[in-house]
Structure formats: C-alpha cells, structure tokens
Structure 1
C-alpha cells in the first residue's frame, strides 16, 4: 500500500508540472487583457508598427520628399522707407498767399493735377507784362507790314522801312522775354496761351500742380498763409507713391562680401512673410555707428500693406540651387552611427538609411536612399527613434 501511494503521488506531481506553463501563460494573458497595447517595433527590418490612431496621438507628421530649392540665407534687420524716386514736393515758386488748398492728407493725386492756388502780385505783374508785350507786338507787326508794302512799291523810304522793322523785332523780343519770365514762374504753354482770354480778376491767381502722382503724406500750409517769399514756407505738400517701397538692410561686415545686387530678399514680421523683392543698391561705405554695411532693396506694395518706417527682418538669399530630392532637416536623424529617415509604411514607419547632401536652414538634400513622393516622418521623429532603440535593447536580453 505504501508503494502504491508513493506512485500515485509521483504521477500527480508530474501531471501538475506539465500543466503549470500553460496555466501561467493563460494567467499572464488574462491579467494583461485590460492594458493598452504597446506599439511594437521589429528590430530585424527597422519597422515601427503604429496604427493611424497612434500616429495621430503621438503627433507624428509626415511630409513627401520632393524636388526643391536649397538656399544660403543671411538674416538682417531692415527698415522700410518710401522710394526716393517716387516722392514729390509741391513747392511755391512764386511769392504770394494761399488762396485754395484742394487736397487733404491721404488724398490721391494725379501727376499734373492742380492741388493749390496762390494769389500772387508777382504773377499778376508778369502776366500783365506779357499781355502788354502782345499788344505792342500786334501794333508793330501791323506797322511793319504797312511800311514793308510801301517800301516794296517804292512809295516809302528805306529808312522808314528799317525803322519799322527794328520796332517790330524789338516788340517780338519783349514778348519772348515776357514768355520766358512766365515759364520761370512755372506757367505751362497752355496757361500762357490762355492768358489773352483770361478774366482780369484771374491774373493774380497761380495754379500749383503736382509734379508726380501718389498720396498726400504732408500738408505744410493753411489758407491765407504767405508763401514763397524770403523766410517763408516754400513747400506746400509732400506726395508719395507708396506702391513701391525700399528697405534699408543692415548687413554685417562678415556677410557684406557675399551680398550682390539682384539677390532675392524676403521681408518678414514675426513669423509671417510680408513681401519679396530684390537688392538694387549696395552702399560703398560702412556705417561708423553700427559697423555694418547698407543694402537697399525694392519691394512692390500695390496693396499698401507695408508702411514706411516699419522695422522688419530681411532674409537675403545669397545662393540658391535646385535639389532633386529635398526633405525637412527635422526628418533626418542619426541612428547607430547612420543617417536615417523613417519612411511611411502601411503598418507604421520603416527606418531607412540615406545619403544626405547639402542643406540650408530648413531643408536637406537626399542624394540616395529616398525617391520623390515617398513620405517621411518630419515631426516628433524622436518617438520613432526611441521606440526602435528600445526594441533593439530588448532583443539583446
């Protein structure tokens, strides 16, 4: 009986030992059923298995590799200014008082448009002299024609003819001199031609016209104010065409040798791009206060969004070249001594070794290992790198 009991006990132990591993496995599976599944990485092929929901939860963004431009760029402070070739000063070229001001600040002005009227004795005297010279010329012309006819018919003496011709030439000279004086007072040929038909009350009035088109940015006089004389205001308005602006860019001396006319410039304010233009001039001197060079760039401002005087940041593109395949710099990482990217796959992302070329501040060229159109992880790439590294370590245990 003792021998039979010992055999039964031994058989039960063997059977229990055979059942323990499956039971332990089932127990572990049961205990872990309620836990969230952890993304699995396959170390052998570099695959990090992630579902679309997990990719979104980890904020992993993917971008497509594509051709693009690589640029060497410098960043420098810039200040917007009005283009000096598009600023006009409306000046009083005669002494008088302001009779009319036809434009206010901000008004749009066309080139040649009358913007003010001056009441001027100087203009009245010049117009009167011209009109008197015209009357005298008409009289001397009639006398000269009469004497010329009599002389040709041998009725009048040559002396009378020569005297009449001299008076005629003198009268014509007076008209020319009076016309030149009016032109010096800024009267146009059309205005001078209209003088004989002008009312006497208008002789004192002088129209002031805009030398260029644009917007009124300054008005320096008021109605009734004396202008144009000694010690008096001569500038009435300042007009600027703000559809084209300039920017003065402070370039560090170390970068000045690489800056060229014609290079592309992008103005930014904060993180937003404001305008793009080109360098049109580089000053040959150095600012002794800032110890920097000055480059002038021109920008289109048709929408009038840019304002003179604003401080901006200028990005000057020193060199630009095309790359067949380009990805964001954040997409390229180092893993176990190799430069790799994580390429989008149906099950997640796959590590792939690539050969990188030149780069700029934002992008890097891929010379081999990646084709245009393939998507690579570009944000939160460290999550993929960490997961793959952890799997490699677990594989060593």
Structure 2
C-alpha cells in the first residue's frame, strides 16, 4: 500500500471510530432535538388532563355543576326542607262518617282524580238519595213538558199550561244539578248508596296519613297530606339588616352530608316573624332525583347582593384541590377533565371566590374532585416511568 492510499483511507477510518464511540453528526443532533420538542409538546398538551368516560365519572361519584356567578358575599344559616306550598294538598273528609277504605299508604304515589278513601255515613245516603229523587223528578217534568208541547201544538192545551210545564222542567233540572254538585263536592262514587269516595286533586306522594281504617271522623278531618316533591322549599330566617341585601332570584347553596345543590330565593317576607323577630325567607330547590326530604335540616349559604353591583365567580370548596402547590379546579372536557389553575379569594360558607382562571360558563367537578386529583397523580407517575 502506498502512502497516498493510506491518506485516502484515513477519513473513513476516523468516521468508523467516531461512530463506534457514539458520536452523532450535526444533522442527526437536529433530528433528535426536533423529536424531543415534539415529545415535550405532546406531554405538555396532556398535562393536567384526566381521561374518563361518562360511566367512569358516574362510578367515581363525581358530580358536575357550574360555578356560581354574582353576589358580594354570603352567610351560612340553618334551614329546613319543606314541601312546596303550591304543590301540597290536605285531603279532608267533606262529611262526617266512618272510614271504610284507605287505598294509599305513606310514600306511595297518587294520581290526580284517584279515589284514595271511602267514608260511610247516613249523610252520604241522604245526598245520594236526593240525586236519585231529583233525577226522577226531572224525568217526570221533561215528560210533562213534552206532553204539553204536543197538546199545545194541537191547540188542545192553553199556552199557560205549556209555560208552567216548561218552568217545572227547568226547576227540576236545577234541583238535579244541585244534588249532583253536592255529591261531587263531597267526593262522589264510593260503591254504595251510603258511601262517598274521596279523591285526590293533586298528583304526588303521600307524606302523611293521620287516620286508620274504621275510625270515625268529623267533617273536614284530615285524611291524607299529599305533596308533589319534584320541587321543595327551603325555609330559613334572616336578620333584618341581611334581608335588605337579599331579593328573589339570589342564589342559595344548600348542603347536607354527602349532598349539595343550588336553590334560588323565591320569597322574602315584608314583615318580621313576631316570635323570632327575623325575616322569613323561602328558596325553591329542584328535587327531581328525590334526594331531599321534607323536614330535613340543611345548611343554606345565602348569596348577598352588593351595594356597588360587583359580582364574583364562586365554586364549592369541594371543587378546589391543590396540585403542585397550585389551586386547581377540574373543568369538564370531551374526554374527561382538565386541572385548571385558579386564583382564589375569600371563602364564604361552603363556597370560595375564584378571582381568575374561570369564566363562570364552564362545567366543573363540584364533588369528587379528590378522586380526579388521585387519577391525575397516577397519570403523572405513569408518564415519568
């Protein structure tokens, strides 16, 4: 081999040795750097995301709601769940007698117009007997009227007799209508001459039944109490100085062990309660799922209206978690949730002000956010591995 040949082979030998030692060319460095940037961007895009299906969200007990907007403060008060006065009915006995049938028990559903009790009494027999007698008198009066009309047309009977027959038929019809109206007002039906059926004029659930079979009751005695519990009322009392900052439409956060919901003020009394010297307030609360029960004690966080018209975004304290020393709220996404950093303000009862990070239009995890934080931690651990 000549010296020239040796020089020509040196570059190839050097490249081979550098490759064996792990040396990468500048072009390869640029390609690797671009790949790393792409991986970092993908990792950053998934940062804070928790992927869950709707079934997994439900199984984890995560409840979804929207932030509360408006208000300049809140006060926490004890409150009581009550039936909506517009959707509650007392079913009473229109006549006195003995209760011989009660077709519904506590908690059972009732349909409007359904017979739910039967009362047996002499008064019922008299009322139903009058219906039958007035019906017979009406039939006779109509027959006489038809006969007088026929005789008058034949010029056999004078017009005066026709007018009298027509008047008698009208009076008989009025008497029959009155007798039927009395029975209808008392209940009607019942299956016997001396029995009256009591019907429900409201669809709902039986929440009280203070009588038993065989009991003798007086007229107007309560037999049932029926309530439509798709909506319930929240009853609370405010001090006069606070009542001036509350108006219909204000938000009330209702909490009880394991449950939370949002109600709205529907009534603020213009007068003080003479015993408590406070202002009675009623809020309306949706109860489609039946999770709130009449008579239950709850805590109501009432949003107060500010004098300067300021507003704020509030979220339940159960919606806030701390991730990497930052306060976050889990915002609903098409694939699950995303941990969104927020800046918090003052707490007010069971809610806290969000000064930045939310617009108020998002759907957020109001309860169960700790489970989402745990899922986020699992995802970070897997990513590090």
The two structures have a TM-score, normalised by structure 1, of 0.57
Task: State whether residues 70 and 359 of structure 1, in contact with CA within 8 Å, keep that contact through their aligned partners in structure 2.
Answer: no
Q: Which residue of 2 aligns with 1:321?
A: 312
Give the distance between the partners of 2:68 and 2:207, measured in 1 at CA: 43
Counterpart of 2:251 (choices 264, 269, 275) is 264
Give the distance between the partners of 2:68 and 2:288, measured in 1 at CA: 29
Give the distance between the partners of 1:276 and 1:343, measured in 2 at CA: 27
| Aligned counterparts, 1:208-357, within 5 A | 208-229=198-219, 234-269=221-256, 272-287=258-273, 290-318=276-304, 320-321=311-312
| Aligned counterparts, 1:63-82, within 5 A | 72-82=73-83
Measured on the aligned residues, the alpha-carbon RMSD in Å equals 3.5
SS at structure 2 position matched to 1:97: strand
Give the distance between the partners of 1:217 and 1:207, measured in 2 at CA: 20
1:92 aligns with 2:93: yes
- After superposition, the C-alpha distances for 1:316-343 in whole angstroms (9 at most, x for unaligned) are 22353359xxxx9999xxxxxxxxx988
CA deviation after TM superposition for structure 1 residue 163, in Å: 4.4
Give the distance between the partners of 1:182 and 1:218, measured in 2 at CA: 25
The verdict on how the C-alpha distance between 1:286 and 1:181 changes in structure 2, with shifts beyond 3 A counting, is closer
Q: Which residue of 2 aligns with 1:64?
A: none
Aligned residues: 262
Task: State whether residues 214 and 239 of structure 1, in contact with CA within 8 Å, keep that contact through their aligned partners in structure 2.
Answer: yes
Task: State whether residues 112 and 211 of structure 1, in contact with CA within 8 Å, keep that contact through their aligned partners in structure 2.
Answer: yes
Task: State whether residues 108 and 213 of structure 1, in contact with CA within 8 Å, keep that contact through their aligned partners in structure 2.
Answer: yes
**Any unmatched runs of 5+ in structure 2?**
1-66, 306-310, 328-342, 358-385
Task: State whether residues 329 and 363 of structure 1, in contact with CA within 8 Å, keep that contact through their aligned partners in structure 2.
Answer: no
The verdict on how the C-alpha distance between 1:316 and 1:150 changes in structure 2, with shifts beyond 3 A counting, is same
1:132 aligns with 2:133: yes
Give the distance between the partners of 1:288 and 1:164, measured in 2 at CA: 63
Q: Which residue of 2 aligns with 1:176?
A: 177
Task: State whether residues 76 and 314 of structure 1, in contact with CA within 8 Å, keep that contact through their aligned partners in structure 2.
Answer: yes
Mean Cα deviation higher: 150-159 or 77-86: 150-159
CA deviation after TM superposition for structure 1 residue 153, in Å: 1.6
CA deviation after TM superposition for structure 1 residue 124, in Å: 1.9
SS at structure 2 position matched to 1:295: strand
Task: State whether residues 148 and 157 of structure 2, in contact with CA within 8 Å, keep that contact through their aligned partners in structure 1.
Answer: yes
The verdict on how the C-alpha distance between 1:316 and 1:329 changes in structure 2, with shifts beyond 3 A counting, is same
Q: Which residue of 1 aligns with 2:8?
A: none
Q: Which residue of 1 aligns with 2:346?
A: 360
The verdict on how the C-alpha distance between 1:363 and 1:97 changes in structure 2, with shifts beyond 3 A counting, is closer
Q: Work out which of the two has the higher radius of gyration on C-alpha atoms and give 1 or 2.
A: 1
Q: Which residue of 1 aligns with 2:195?
A: 205
The verdict on how the C-alpha distance between 1:205 and 1:216 changes in structure 2, with shifts beyond 3 A counting, is same
Give the distance between the partners of 2:132 and 2:108, measured in 1 at CA: 36
SS at structure 2 position matched to 1:248: strand
The two structures have a TM-score, normalised by structure 2, of 0.59
Give the distance between the partners of 2:239 and 2:178, measured in 1 at CA: 57
The verdict on how the C-alpha distance between 1:244 and 1:149 changes in structure 2, with shifts beyond 3 A counting, is same
